[in-house]
Amino acid sequence: MQGHEVDIYRYEHRGPNFTDTFLVGGRAIGRTHSCFLIAEAGSNHDGKLDQALRLIDVAATCHADAVKFQLFRAKNLYPRDAGQADYLAGRTDIYSLIQSMELPETWLPRLAQHSHEQGLLFLVTPFYPEAVATLLPFVPAFKMSSYELTHVPLLEAVAATGLPVFASTGASNLVDIDTAIARYRSAGLRELVLLHCTAAYPAPLLQANLRSITFLHQRYQVLTGLSDHTADPLLAPVIARTLGACVLEKHFTLDRTLPGPDHSFALEPQQLELMVKAVRETEQALGLEDKQVEQCERELHHFARPALFASRELAVGDVFDQSAIQVLRRGATKASLDATYLDRLLGRKARKAYHPGEPVALDELA
């Protein structure tokens, strides 16, 4: 059976549009707001509650907006005979590995409370429909995994909560995303951010394809962001922010040498702090979609601005012609006619006498 053909340049919007600004736990999400930074702890707790709490502390120290964990059960993800994934380099069969990484539901109240005490929003990715109800009392939004983009029962369960959704799109094509968008729209979801993602661990820069951030925004008229799996702490996040990403997710760990499949490609605390700092400085540098004289420019805006000066001796009544006027930077002169008035000045008669180099008085155009 042949696959669906998709015109990448056309997409028919059916149903109400997604909103371009919304709140998650009091934090504004949108292209004109600060990027919402999610520190992805994932399964890097290694089954230890104290390690999970330390991850929350690191996320807070690094000034992330939210910390995120994952709620999955091996029995809800894979059949027991699923085998091994090549990217795990023969650690063990995937079912046993996933089972060893499960986060106990009994941790959720403690993790949520500790996150709030540290000034962080608490997020958890659900991987099966029943997890949605379990997480609902603890999270202000749902972050969806790339591999669950086409998990229809899970999408519908999440959409039915009415909470905002951050949906990753790794290892998917436009047919997959079209289908997910249609499901979310039909379920009444309006607060959605699509996160571009390259689902490799780590993702090579040559396949990061960050232009997809703007492509997805234009195609679906939806907010977009990046779930970044590249190893570099700065390059992809900074580029993503310049491309309009309003949400950024990055895996982090206490130590890359810890056991577990997700530590080796995650950022260590110092790197996470550098990433947050770089994104915030990028936002400062991007500034506003406007053009005005900045505070730091005001002195030179006057001092170096072109103005009109007499180029020779002029008596009262002499005509201002091209030979009588020169354009020079204003310098410290207090009153001089701006160079943009040259055309209006030409042909007029001088109201006062001028020496060479004397600024043309403002009242010459009165």
pLDDT in tens, 271-324: 999 999 999 999 999 998 899 999 999 999 999 999 999 999 999 999 999 999
- Kindly indicate whether the domain formed by 295-365 is annotated with CATH number 3.90.1210.10: yes
Contact 91, 97 (CB under 8 A): yes
pLDDT of 87 strictly over 80:
no
pLDDT of 9 strictly over 80:
no
Tell me the sheet residues that pair with 325.
310
Report the side by side order of strands in the sheet with 66-71: 121-126, 66-71, 36-42, 247-251, 223-228, 192-197, 165-168, 142-144
Closest by CA position to 140, among listed 155, 157, 161, 156: 161
pLDDT of 85 strictly over 90:
no
pLDDT bucket at 7, cuts 50 / 70 / 90: low
pTM: 0.89
**Which class does domain 21-286 fall in?**
alpha beta
Contact 9, 174 (CB under 8 A): no
Mean pLDDT over 14-43 rounds to 94
pLDDT of 1 strictly over 50:
no
Alpha carbon distances (Å) from 120 to 55, 97, 115: 12, 29, 5
Distance CA 154, CA 97 (A): 22
- pLDDT tens column, 166-208: 999 999 999 999 999 999 999 999 999 999 999 999 999 999 9
Domain ranges of the chain: 21-286, 295-365
